[in-house]
Structure formats: C-alpha cells, structure tokens
Amino acid sequence: MNTRGALKKNIFPYTVILPSFIFIALFLLIPLLYSLSISFQGYKYGVPTGKIVWFKNFVDIFTKETVAPGFYQSLFVTFKFTVSAVVAVVVISLGIALMMKEKCATSSLLKYALLLPYAIPGVVSAVVWNWIYDASFGVLNGVLYKLGIISEYIGIISNPDLALWAILFAYVWKFVPASAFIFSAGLATIPDSIYEAAQIDGAGTFRTFFQITIPSLMPVLQLVLVMQTMFALVMHFGLVFVLTQGGPGSSTRTLAWLVYMESFTYTRFGRGTAMAIILALIMIVFIYVYLVVLNHERRKMSGG
C-alpha cells in the first residue's frame, strides 16, 4: 500500500503536466525539430535537393560573398534595434509605472489608456502607424505642418536615418503597456514604510530610486528584460513588413526580416531556417547574459 502510494506520488506531477507537454511537443517541438532538419538540407528554388549538406547553410551565411555582407549588416541593424528597443521599453514603462504610483489626477487615466495599445493586435497597429507616417497624407505630417514645425510634408520612412527610429517609435508604443503593468505590480509590493523611512532620513528622489526601488525590482526587471529582448528580436517583423519592407537601402533589414526573405522570397528554406536558428541562439546568449549578470547583482545586493 505504501509503495503504491509512493509511486502514485512520484508520477503524479508528470500526469498533470502530460497534456500540456503533449500540446507543446506536438505543435512546437516537432515542427522545431523538423525546421532543424531542414536547415541541414540543401534546397534549390523551393524544392529540397534531397542532399544533406550538414553545416553548409550555416557556413554560407557567415562566409559566402553573396550572403555574408548582408547578414553582417542585418546583425548590425538588429543589434541597434534590439538594444534601443529594450532600453526604451524598459525605461519608458518603468517611468510610466512610477508615474502611475503617484496618486494624482492622471494616474488612473494612464492605467486605462495603457490598455489600448495592449489590446490592439500588432498588424492593426502596423497599418495605423503606416498611415500616420505617410509622406503625402499622413496625420503626423499634418500635425507638424499645422503646428508650423515643418513647412512641407516630409518623408519619414523614406529617410534611411529615420526609418529605423520610426519603427522603434511604433514598436515601443505597442510594447510599453505590458511591461508597465508588470512593473506596476512589482512596485506595489514594495512597502510604503521603506519609502517613508528613506524620506525621514532625508533621501532625495534620485537616491531613493537607485538605492531602494531598483534593488527591490531586480527580479521583475530581470523578467521584463528577458521578455523584451525575446520580443524585440522577432516581434518587430509586422512593422517592417508593413512599413518599410527592409528599406530604404538596408536600414531596416533586421535578421528577422532576412529570415523571411530567405525562406519565402528566395525560397531557400535551408538557409532561411539556418538563419532562424542563429537568431534563436542570439536570443539565448542575451538571456543567459541577463540571468548571469543580474543574478550576480542580486546576490551582491541582498548578500554582502
């Protein structure tokens, strides 16, 4: 009786997890593995050549003359965008969360307003931003013109220096709310008594922020950084697809965009999935860095 009970206890957690695991295995893991196998195959014009080329696709990406320069450039653009996006989202959403904490007239307005970009599906927001930026009829141009800031309509997406930042602006708009909510919840768990004590001790706003708020938010910050990095590497795709298609020039050709181009426009599925795998590896590296660095920080602050 005892052993049976013990066995039941041992397999019990597995039985609970099993259905979830089946779903994930069937609809994510298997296609994932299939993708991996595709990256090892040769493809010519959308049709598998039937030959296993092992790592040739990967090697080509890094060294082939017709592929590598574009790849390195996309790495550069991706890096630029990801870092800016993560920083922007984290800073702005933390700022908004702090503002919501202050009990004043606008804080509850903010709470409700944030629900809107969160609720709008990504593609819809891409289409809307595309119009806002339109060089001939866009409302952004219209407002700037009315305010007298510009004397005639300007092209934003057609400017290689501005295009990526225009995408960033639209991207941040969509992704700030979720992080703001998470930060808000995190802030709520910091007891007011700590703040009051700090105030009595004479600490100014900045000192309070850096010595109390940030350390207490470390785990949340970790979560948000990881999430936002994962998103920034991939979720800008809708915006690039609708607004710039990788242009002008190559100023918005990110790695995610390149994966799409390789797979569907060039029909080189082998190379396309290889690039996607490289993208995933980059994601893993970023996340690992966060976990290691931030855990170290946490240990430093809580221990010591």
Partner 1 sequence: MRKMLFLMICLALAASTLFAGGQKEEAEGPVTLKFSGWTYDLEKVQENLAMYKQWVATQADPALPDTSVVMEDAGYGEFDTHITTTFAAGGSYDVMYSSDHWLSKWAEAGWVVPVEDYFPEIRNYVKDIAPYSVEAMTYNGKLYGLPYYTDVMYFVYNKKMLADAGIKAPPDTWQEVTEQALKIKQAGITSTPMMIGLKAGSWFDEGFYALIYSEGGSLFNKNLEPVFSTDSGPVFDMIEWVKESINDTHIIPRKVIEMTAVDVQQAFKKGDAAFAIVPGYMIREFNTPGISDVAGQADVAMMPGKTHSTDGYSRMYLMGNSALRSEKVKQASWALIEFLGGETTVDGKKAYHIAKRWAVENGLGFSVLSLWNDPEVNAVFANMGNTQVMKAQKEKARSKEGISAPWFAEWISLVRAEVQKAILAEEATSSVLEKIKKQWEDLKSE
Partner 2 sequence: MLLSTITRRKKIKKLIVIALSVVALCYILSPVYWVIVSGFQTERALEDRPPHLVPTKDVVTTNHYYYIFTGNIPPDSTLMLQSMYTMSGTLVYPAIINSIVIAFFVTFINLVLGFPAGHVFARYRFWADRKIFLLMLATRLLPSISIVIPMYIILNRVRLLDTKVALICIYTAMTLPFTIWILRAYFKNIPIAFEEAARIDGCGYLKMMVKVVFPLARPGIIAALIFAFMTSYGEFVFATVLTQTIASKTQTAVLAALAQGMSTSRGMIAAAATLSFLPPLLLATIFRKHVLAGVSVNLKF
Q: Which of residues 141-200 bind partner 1 (CB under 8 A)?
A: 152-160
Assess 219 for contact with partner 2 (CB under 8 A). yes
CA distances 274 to 27, 69, 215, 226, 263, Å, are: 20, 16, 39, 23, 10
Under rule CB under 8 A, which residues in 86-145 are in contact with partner 1? 134-137
What does R_g of the chain's alpha carbons equal in angstroms? 24
The CB-of-117 to partner 2 minimum distance in angstroms stands at 6
Residue 247 binding: pick among partner 2, partner 1, none (C-beta 5-8 Å cut-off by kind): partner 1
Assess 70 for contact with partner 1 (CB under 8 A). yes
Task: Check: CB of residue 243 under 8 Å from CB of residue 129.
Answer: yes
d(CA 190, CA 212): 9
**35: which residues sit within 8 A by CB, 6+ positions away?**
273, 276, 277
Q: Which two tokens stand for residue 56?
A: 């040739």
Assess 81 for contact with partner 1 (CB under 8 A). no
Assess 117 for contact with partner 2 (CB under 8 A). yes
Assess 228 for contact with partner 2 (CB under 8 A). no
HSE, side-chain direction, 13 A CA sphere, residue 274: 23
Task: Check: CB of residue 71 under 8 Å from CB of residue 272.
Answer: no
Looking at beta carbons only, is 38 or 224 nearer to partner 1? Answer: 38
Looking at beta carbons only, is 157 or 232 nearer to partner 1? Answer: 157
Q: Which of 157, 240, 269, 270 binds partner 2 (CB under 8 A)?
A: 269
Q: Which of 86, 168, 225, 279 binds partner 2 (CB under 8 A)?
A: 279
Assess 289 for contact with partner 2 (CB under 8 A). no
Q: Which of 267, 280, 290, 297 binds partner 1 (CB under 8 A)?
A: 267
Residue with tokens 């915006």: 239
Residue 111 binding: pick among partner 1, partner 2, none (C-beta 5-8 Å cut-off by kind): partner 2
Neighbours of 293 (CB within 10 A): 12
**73: which residues sit within 8 A by CB, 6+ positions away?**
250, 253
Burial (0-12, 13-18, 19+ Cβ within 10 Å), 94: buried
Looking at beta carbons only, is 47 or 188 nearer to partner 1? Answer: 47
Assess 46 for contact with partner 1 (CB under 8 A). yes
Q: Where does 29-67 have alpha helices with state H?
A: 30-39, 56-63
Q: Which of 47, 52, 115, 197 binds partner 2 (CB under 8 A)?
A: 115
The CB-of-169 to partner 1 minimum distance in angstroms stands at 15
Assess 248 for contact with partner 1 (CB under 8 A). yes
Residues contributing to the site for partner 1 (CB under 8 A): 45-47, 65-66, 70, 134-137, 152-160, 244-250, 253, 261, 264-269
